[in-house]
């Protein structure tokens, strides 16, 4: 089973949200569509996919999510900029 850990942000790259899913494209689309209006990503418009990592197991993806969430904002920014220095929305590349 494929799983993903991902980071989204808002238009101005101010908010960072880290999540995990087994269906990355569908999850990001639900963030963009604000499917859950009370969710963090909807309230803060964090629907721009700026980083993701693929795993063979949801357990590994969740472990990576915990590791990222435990890190500082600076570490998250470094992670994003290693993969996506221009902070482009990677949704269309999926």
Look up the CATH architecture of domain 3-93: 3-Layer(aba) Sandwich (3.40)
Per-residue pLDDT tens over the stretch 14-49: 999 999 999 999 999 999 999 999 999 999 999 999
The terminus-to-terminus CA distance of the chain in angstroms comes to 17
- In angstroms, rounded to a whole number, what is the distance separating the alpha carbons of residues 64 and 36? 24
- In angstroms, rounded to a whole number, what is the distance separating the alpha carbons of residues 77 and 16? 9
The model carries a pTM of 0.97
Closest CA to 4 of 89, 65, 79: 65
**Integer Rg of the chain from CA:** 12
Domain ranges of the chain: 3-93
Per-residue pLDDT tens over the stretch 41-81: 999 999 999 999 999 999 999 999 999 999 999 999 999 99
């Amino acid at each position: 089973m494929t799983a993903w850990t991902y980071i989204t942000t808002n238009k101005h790259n101010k908010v960072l949200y880290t999540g995990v899913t087994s269906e990355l494209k569908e999850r990001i689309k639900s963030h963009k569509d604000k499917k859950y209006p009370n969710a963090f990503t909807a309230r803060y418009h964090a629907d721009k996919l700026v980083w993701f990592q693929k795993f063979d197991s949801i357990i590994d993806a969740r472990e990576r999510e915990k590791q990222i969430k435990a890190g500082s904002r600076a570490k998250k920014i470094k992670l994003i900029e290693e993969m996506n220095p221009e902070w482009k929305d990677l949704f269309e590349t999926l």
